[in-house]
Amino acid sequence: MSDNSLGFTRSEYESSLAYGSGGVGDFFALMKPRVMSLVVFTALVGLVVAPGTLHPVIAIAALICIAVGAGASGALNMWYDADIDAIMQRTAARPVPRGRVSADEALTFGTVLAAGSVITMGMLVNWVSAALLALTIGFYLFIYTMWLKRRTPQNIVIGGAAGALPPIIGWAAVTGTVGLESIVLFLIIFIWTPPHFWALALYRTRDYERAGIPMLPVTAGPDTTRSHILFYSLVLAPTGLAPVFIDMGGIAYAVLATVLGVAFVALALRVYTRRKGREAEKAAKKLFSFSILYLLLLFAVLLVEHVLGGLTVTGA
Amino acid sequence: MQLSEAQKKRRRSRSIAIAWALAAMAALFFVVTMVRLGANVMNRPF
């Protein structure tokens, strides 16, 4: 018997539940590579803007540990959320609900990667950054995935802290401490997270509803969500400028952060005003896509400014 | 439990990937040790 939508036979699927039949690609997918790339990028920025020097080899080791730690978080999230992932259209093709990787395998894979990345970070870089990496993985799994996600519409507001920590880890890899500048980077991502995910939730509301996840559009309705998106966007725009006032961002950063901040608010306003039909969906999709670009460009210009202004990652 | 040919092939590719990951980790630890010790790597009693 063949399953047309999934492309493998029923007997293959059933045996995979007991043993798992995933290839390397399936285990790679468990690590949420797209999320991982954003995590590594923001950590790299934290590492480069930090004062002091770090040997390139140790910097690379730190980034590998952060990447693997992020991958561990993804795998553990997919292990725990397999039941709701199977219901949601956006996540139904993930390796566990598809039966390519068994839940036990995902749990083992995630646990080994989490422990390995934290211990390696501690041994090769420093134990402050290792502790922060452990905190990030633990926060994402226990606080966000297991506790908040299925209980409160504030899930991604509080849970967003996990995604905002990588620049602090990067900073700590160089300095061995947590500095004000790294907290500013944390705040930018932390405030950016709610409008980013709520824009997605606006056009995926039915998905979340079916899975019983109390995302804001499900519990409070789309109009309240639009107000919240606009509020967070209005807070995000000036927060994005904060690096300028602590001498972390230069003129290029100031100009770009202003332009991008205004564009973010404009798109949030469009989401706020267009409330019906295809136009509303288009506005939410546009804000979601732009929000990724916003964060990417903001951090990219910081990176470029610091690299051009004198390499902080230098040979010992 | 009898594994199909496709499952055996995927298991082999997983084993190879694990081997590569372990080799990369050993290389990483070796290189970082060299970086940390620098010239002192030769400074040991014989």
pLDDT tens digits, residue range A167-194?
999 999 999 999 999 999 999 999 999 9
* pLDDT value of position A180: 94
* Contact between A100 and A16 (Cβ < 8 Å): yes
* pLDDT value of position A22: 85
pLDDT tens digits, residue range A223-250?
999 999 999 999 999 999 999 999 999 9
Q: Given CB atoms, is A65 within the 8 Å cutoff of chain B?
A: no
Is the predicted pLDDT of residue A17 greater than 90, yes or no? no
* pLDDT value of position A4: 40
Write the CB contacts of A129 (distance below 8 Å, at least 6 apart in sequence): A62, A121, A122, A169, A170, A172, A173, A176
* pLDDT value of position A119: 98
Whether B13 sits inside 8 A of A120 (CB atoms) is: no
Phi, psi of A2 (to 5 degrees): -110, 140
For the record, the structure tokens of A271 come out as: 């989401």
Whether A23 sits inside 8 A of B13 (CB atoms) is: yes
Q: Which residues of B touch A12 (CB under 8 A)?
A: 4, 6-7
Q: Which amino acid is at A210?
A: R
Q: A24: distance to nearest CA of chain B, Å?
A: 5
Whether B38 sits inside 8 A of A58 (CB atoms) is: no
Is residue A91 very low, low, confident or very high in pLDDT (cuts 50, 70, 90)? very high
pLDDT tens digits, residue range A243-278?
999 999 999 999 999 999 999 999 999 999 999 889
**Angle CA B7–B13–B16, to nearest 5:** 145
Q: B29: distance to nearest CA of chain A, Å?
A: 7
**Residue of chain B whose alpha carbon sits nearest to that of A18:** B1
**Residue of chain B whose alpha carbon sits nearest to that of A27:** B14
* pLDDT value of position B28: 95
